[in-house]
């Protein structure tokens, strides 16, 4: 600060306030001080910043290490970094394994005061992490909703609407027996999706053929064999709804379903139709017919970040809750080169 003050003919106090972007210092002065600081390679000390202001200017995205890095994680991080551009905040990713205690990274971040706010996913109906952060006054935002009457910032995709749209599309195609590749039962969006699926089945007088012991958390191989076994049953589905956003944005669950159908000698688009949730609107590598509903995870990252920063600034949780409602199915038949 002394170096900058000498170079610009300013007082050290003025330089200090300009570096903090104090609006009481003229904009021209702030800009010249900040430009000089950048030229000198100056970066504020995080430790000093926390001592002076009680803030770190850091937020954390807490992610399960088993999330697919190429799709969900990359799109989420892209959206977060877009929303952080032009702010004082920086992002760190805190990994954990769902095979261990999911509370461990949350406790660490809260107890060490490492961050100003936290974003979490894989939300449970009565999520222990949500209760803990509320009790400890840690600002946070969740990708998904809880059911326990807790008020907190969230951004969610309407999985009930997705399931209803998917069933409706299959019903309109004349399909009568449907299977749902659902999320794990302990997650909130499982309940939303199954409610929509069952309500729409009932409305159209359709029958469910259940997958046995497999969810969208299972490996591609496990899903493939589950589909194969399902299609070899005497009463098999003629429509499949996949809740997975896929691997690397290219439809990992869809790939597994198509492989399982091939194992059973069943042709997609003729004997069975597939509706799948995907992170990207176009999946150019497949030749089979399928129907997709787009879930924009990049937008989720942007909206979660905006809500989190607003929560850090003290805005009420009720004003920081949003739900993305899918409107339609995108019909696509990739061209064969």
User: Which residue in the block uniquely carries the two structure tokens 């191989």?
Assistant: 221
Share of the chain above pLDDT 90, in %: 63
pLDDT higher than threshold 60 for residue 333: no
- Among candidates 256, 268, 270, which has minimal Cα distance to 228? 256
The pLDDT score that the predictor gives to residue 336 is: 35
Q: What is the mean pLDDT of residues 82-105?
A: 88
Going by pLDDT thresholds of 50, 70 and 90, the confidence category of residue 245 is low
Three-state SS for 69-119 is HHHHHHHHHHHHHHHHCCCCCEEEEEEECCCCCCHHHHHHHHHCCCCCEEE
| Per-residue pLDDT tens digits for 198-214 | 999 999 999 999 998 89
pLDDT higher than threshold 90 for residue 64: no
**Position with higher pLDDT, 268 vs 320:** 320
pLDDT higher than threshold 90 for residue 252: no
Going by pLDDT thresholds of 50, 70 and 90, the confidence category of residue 329 is confident
How many Å apart are CA 59 and CA 87, to the nearest integer?
A: 12
- CA 335 to the chain's CA centroid: 30
Q: What is the mean pLDDT of residues 103-111?
A: 94
């Amino acid at each position: 600060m002394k170096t900058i003050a000498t170079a610009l003919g300013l007082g050290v106090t003025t330089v200090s306030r300009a570096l903090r972007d104090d609006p009481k210092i003229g904009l021209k002065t702030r800009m010249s001080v900040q430009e000089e600081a950048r030229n000198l390679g100056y970066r504020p000390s995080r430790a000093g910043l926390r001592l002076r202001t009680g803030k770190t200017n850091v937020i954390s995205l807490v992610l399960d290490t088993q999330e697919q890095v190429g799709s969900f994680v990359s799109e989420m991080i892209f959206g977060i970094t877009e929303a952080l551009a032009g702010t004082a905040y920086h992002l760190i990713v805190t990994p954990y394994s769902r095979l261990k205690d999911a509370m461990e990274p949350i406790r660490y971040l809260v107890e060490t005061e490492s961050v100003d706010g936290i974003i979490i996913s894989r939300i449970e109906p009565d999520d222990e992490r949500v209760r803990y952060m509320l009790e400890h006054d840690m600002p946070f935002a969740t990708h998904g909703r809880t059911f326990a009457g807790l008020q907190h910032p969230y951004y969610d995709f309407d999985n009930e609407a997705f399931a209803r749209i998917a069933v409706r599309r299959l019903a309109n195609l004349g399909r009568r027996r449907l299977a749902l590749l659902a999320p794990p039962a302990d997650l909130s969006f499982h309940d939303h999706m199954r409610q929509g699926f069952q309500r729409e089945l009932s409305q159209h007088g359709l029958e469910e053929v259940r997958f046995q012991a497999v969810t969208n958390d299972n490996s591609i191989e496990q899903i493939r064999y589950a589909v194969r076994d399902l299609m070899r049953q005497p009463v098999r589905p003629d429509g499949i709804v996949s809740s997975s956003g896929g691997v690397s944005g290219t439809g990992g669950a869809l790939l597994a379903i198509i492989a399982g159908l091939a194992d059973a000698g069943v042709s997609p688009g003729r004997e069975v139709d597939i509706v799948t949730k995907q992170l990207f609107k176009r999946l150019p590598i497949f030749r089979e017919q399928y129907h997709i509903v787009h879930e924009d995870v990049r937008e989720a990252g942007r909206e979660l970040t905006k809500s989190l920063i607003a929560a850090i600034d003290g805005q009420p949780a009720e004003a920081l809750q949003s739900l993305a409602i899918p409107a339609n199915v995108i019909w696509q038949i990739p061209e064969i080169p």
